[in-house]
Amino acid sequence: MSKRPLDAFFTSSTSSSKKLKESTASEPRTTERNDDIDDGKAPNENAQKHPSYPFPIAQLPSRISVGLEFATPGRQARTIANQPHLDLLYYEPYIPQPTAKQYFQFLRSELPFYRVKYTMKRGPTETLISTPRFTTVFGVDITSYFSAAENQDDHEYRKLLDSKTHQPIAKDKYKCTPRPIPACLDLLRKQVEAALDDGTSYNFVLVNYYASGDDSISYHSDDERFLGTNPSIASLTLGAKRDFLMKHKSAAAGAVVEKPLKLPLASGDMIVMRGETQSNWLHSVPKRKGGEAGSGRINITLRKAVVPGGTENYYRYNVGDGGIYRWDNGKKEMLLAD
C-alpha cells in the first residue's frame, strides 16, 4: 500500500483556543528574576509545601507562568480525518519557544522523579519490570479532593476530603498517598481545560522524563476502566523531538491495515486523544538513536480518574516504592536524592 504524507491525515479543526480566565490569578506567584533560568531554580521561599511531597516544589518564575497563561497556540489544532475510531487534536505548537524550553528546564530540575520497578505475574511466572523512563504523578480521583489553602503559605495544611461528605477521608481508603497537583503543573491543567472549551476536566497530571533515546514506552492504550468511557487524554511534549506512533488495534490482531501513523512531536507540541481513540488505537514512543533524543524529553499527560482504583494504579506505577531522583545540573543527569 502506498505511503501517504502526514498532512493527508489532517483537516483543520473548527475549535479555537482561549486564554486562561482570570480565575488563575489567585494562584501563588513568584517574583521575576533577572538571572538565567538554565538550572530551572526558583527562590526557595516561594516553594510549595505539602506532607505528601518528598521536598518542596518551586513555584513557576513569572516569565513561564505568563507564557503559559497568555501564549496563543502557533496554529489551530488539526484533527485526523479518514481514520476509523480516531478523534485526535494536534497542536504544532501549543506552547511556543522560549516558554517551552524554560518550562522543560524548570520541571526537570524541580520535580521528584522515580525509576519504578514492579512485578508482573502471568500464570505461575513472575517478571520484574524496570520502567524504561523516569516518572512522577500528582492528583486524586473524583471521589476525593484536596481542600483549598487559606493562603499561599498554607499548602502543607491542605487536607484530603471525601467528595460527598466533605469530611476527611477514611484512613484505609487508599493504600497509596495521593498528593495535590503542584501549582507549576496545575496552571497548565487549567489552561488546557480552558483552551479545549468543551467541558473537559482533568484531575491527574502524569509526567514522564525520557533521559535519552534508550528510554521509551511500548505500544499501549489508556483504556482502563477507572478512566470511564471515551476518556480524553492531553499529552504535551517538552524538550527533544521524539516520534509518537499510533496504530489501530486491528493491526495487533493481524488485520491488513496501513502503516502506523507517525507524529514527530517537537517541544511545545500537544495532542489530545478523545472519543473512541483509546478503545481502538495503541500508541508508543519507541527508542531512538542519535539526533536530539539524547538531550532529554518531558511528556506531561492530563487524565481524569473516576474511581479510587485509578488513584491506586497511578501511584503504584509512577511512584512505587523506589528511590527519589532529582536532576543534577552540574552532572547533567538524574541522581538519587539523599
Instruction: Pick out the residues of the known binding site.
Output: 208, 210, 220, 223, 283, 297, 301, 303
Locate 252 and state its grid cell. Answer: 495487533
166 contacts: CB under 8 Å, gap ≥ 6: none
Phi, psi of 315 (to 5 degrees): -75, -35
Among the listed residues 92, 95, 18, 93, the one whose alpha carbon sits nearest the alpha carbon of residue 60: 95
- Taking the C-alpha atoms of residue 330 and residue 2, their distance in angstroms, rounded to an integer, is 48
Query: Which amino acid appears at position 22 of this protein?
Result: E
Continuous segment of H or E residues that includes residue 251: helix 249-252
Annotated binding site for substrate: 223
Secondary structure letter of residue 84 according to DSSP: T
Helix/strand/coil for 52: coil
CA–CA gap between residue 90 and residue 80 (Å, rounded): 8
What is the grid cell recorded at 159? 487536607
Q: Partners of 274 in the beta sheet?
A: 87
- Which three cell numbers mark 200? 473537559
| Residue 109 amino acid letter | S
- Going by the DSSP 8-state scheme, the letter that residue 7 receives in this structure is G
- Is the CB of residue 181 less than 8 Å from the CB of residue 149? no
Residue list for the binding site for 2-oxoglutarate: 208, 210, 220, 283, 297, 301, 303
Q: End-to-end distance of the chain based on CA atoms, in angstroms?
A: 55
**Strand pairing report for 87-91 and 270-274:** antiparallel
Identify the CA nearest to 47 among candidates 23, 30, 64. 30
